[in-house]
Amino acid sequence: MTVSLPLVFDAPRRGMPPRHLADLDAEGRRAAVEELGLPKFRADQIARQYYARLQADPARMTDLPAAVREKIGDALFPPLLSVVKHVACDAGETRKTLWRAGDGTLLESVLMRYPDRATLCISSQAGCGMACPFCATGQGGLNRNLSTAEIVDQVRAAAAALRDGEVAGGPGRLSNIVFMGMGEPLANYKRVVAAVRRITSPAPDGLGISQRNVVVSTVGLAPAIRKLADEGLSVTLAVSLHTPDDELRDTLVPVNNRWPIAEVLDATRYYADKTGRRVSVEYALIRDINDHPWRADMLGEKLHKALGSRVHVNVIPLNPTPGSKWDASPKPVEQEFVRRVNAQGVPCTVRDTRGQEIAAACGQLAAEN
């Protein structure tokens, strides 16, 4: 299976929403308020409302003069995302949100509450162009990239919902972000990196979530992995490998036709060397496709050789998607696979999957309404 993939990771701004406060860095915010004829200090004042107080409606920013709120709203707070619906499971502690962007584009995010943390899985694109055949998002194709602000606002909205007690379990705090929703994050590179900086910078520049609690996932865009390593960030890189041999991966992850496993692992090793961070390898276990004992052995051997102790394998039981011919591996096969990877000196565990019954688990997001 051959898929045409762009050589340049950042597509033009075509179809993007108008400029929003969250698209701007500190210098850009100051320039924007000066364009409005306002003093520079208003830039940080507005940003603190958005990032610290999680307020996105200028009409409610009561420390701003009433006379300028509408002007600020028009210039810096265009409509971004509106809730189409929430769907919940796990006694309300897992909540999937279907969003509609200003141009009608649909996307999804998933908020998962655990005893020790609250994790938000966010989308970086509407749809996905990577065409992995076992993933509902990939099979739907790519609609467009999301803007930096559309990515960030998923996080702001979830943080506000937790703070205000809208999620089962009472008021809480958003602690972890995973770029594992719709889309290939590194195919929207510039905006994703900007979003990471907004998410992790302290107010007034961002939401103040620790970089070490942010995971950026990729199917293996090797040059972009290397570029990310040079950004000076401390986020966790997650590489969706799904098989250790190129022959099968060419089919399961078509981008492998351009950047094969050896090149992906070389870039991953560069990331680990440069950042000092342990890398996560994601492996969707599919019955009779990639769950063979010899593949477990090969996976462990290759990862140990490339990364030593700086890698952890997350085995993900395949989540069902409409029309898929594939299924999850039986538990005994899954357990043997994990055992064999661990035997190669590579830590390997089965991920606790949430949201399968509401099509909110890995590979199930399709933004259907």
- Please indicate if the annotation marks 135 as binding a ligand: yes
pLDDT at 1: 37
**Band of residue 7 on the pLDDT scale cut at 50, 70, 90:** very low
- Please indicate if the annotation marks 123 as binding a ligand: no
| Helices 41-51, 66-76: inter-axial angle, 10-degree rounding | 70
In terms of C-beta distances under 8 Å and separation of at least 24 residues, what long-range contacts does 56-59 make, across chains too? 56/80, 56/153, 56/156, 56/157
CA–CA dist 27, 30 (Å, integer): 5
- How many percent of the chain have pLDDT more than 90? 85
Residue 12 has pLDDT above 90, yes or no: no
- How many percent of the chain have pLDDT more than 70? 92
CA–CA dist 110, 365 (Å, integer): 9
The domain defined by 81-358 carries CATH number 3.10.180.10: no
**Band of residue 4 on the pLDDT scale cut at 50, 70, 90:** very low
Element containing residue 201 per DSSP (H, E): none
pLDDT digits (tens, 9 = 90+) for 180-210: 999 999 999 999 999 999 999 999 999 999 9
CA–CA dist 133, 368 (Å, integer): 18
Least confident of 36-50, 51-65, 127-141, 295-309: 127-141
Indicate where the chain has its CATH 1.10.150.530 domain(s).
Answer: 21-77
- Please indicate if the annotation marks 217 as binding a ligand: yes
Q: With the C-alpha atoms ordered 134, 140, 143, 146, is the resulting torsion angle positive or negative?
A: negative
Residue 339 has pLDDT above 50, yes or no: yes
Task: Give the tokens for residue 113.
Answer: 């509450």
The domain defined by 21-77 carries CATH number 1.10.150.530: yes
CA–CA dist 252, 237 (Å, integer): 20
Q: Which amino acid is at 142?
A: L
**Band of residue 8 on the pLDDT scale cut at 50, 70, 90:** very low
Find, among 53, 58, 55, 52, the residue nearest to 72 by Cα. 58
Identify the bridge partners of residue 364 per DSSP, sorted by sequence position.
Answer: none
- Please indicate if the annotation marks 128 as binding a ligand: yes
Compute CA distances 190 → 76, 274, 289, 322, whole Å.
20, 20, 35, 33
- Please indicate if the annotation marks 89 as binding a ligand: no
pLDDT at 369: 63
For the segment 8-28, the average pLDDT, to the nearest whole number, is 79
- Please indicate if the annotation marks 276 as binding a ligand: no
125-127 and 142-145 strand pairing: antiparallel
CA–CA dist 277, 101 (Å, integer): 34
- Please indicate if the annotation marks 348 as binding a ligand: no
- Please indicate if the annotation marks 121 as binding a ligand: no
Q: Is 310 exposed, middle or buried (0-12, 13-18, 19+ CB in 10 A)?
A: middle
For the segment 138-159, the average pLDDT, to the nearest whole number, is 95
pLDDT at 362: 64
Phi-psi label, residue 172: left if phi above 0, alpha if psi -120 to 50, beta otherwise:
beta
Beta-carbon neighbour count of residue 250 at 10 Å?
17
Indicate which residues carry an active-site annotation: 108, 362
Is 326 within 8 Å of 286 (Cβ atoms)? Answer: yes
CA–CA dist 151, 173 (Å, integer): 19
- Whether pTM > 0.75 for this model: the answer is yes
| Burial call 196-209: b when 16+ CB within 10 Å, e when fewer | bbbbbbeebbbbeb
Indicate where the chain has its CATH 3.20.20.70 domain(s).
Answer: 81-358
- Please indicate if the annotation marks 300 as binding a ligand: no
For the segment 165-181, the average pLDDT, to the nearest whole number, is 96
| Helices 189-200, 148-163: inter-axial angle, 10-degree rounding | 30
Find, among 146, 90, 158, the residue nearest to 119 by Cα. 158
Which residue in this structure is represented by tokens 């401390």?
A: 234
Q: Which residue has the higher pLDDT, 11 or 340?
A: 340
Is the bond preceding 293 in cis, omega lying within 30 degrees of 0?
no
Find, among 81, 72, 85, the residue nearest to 17 by Cα. 81
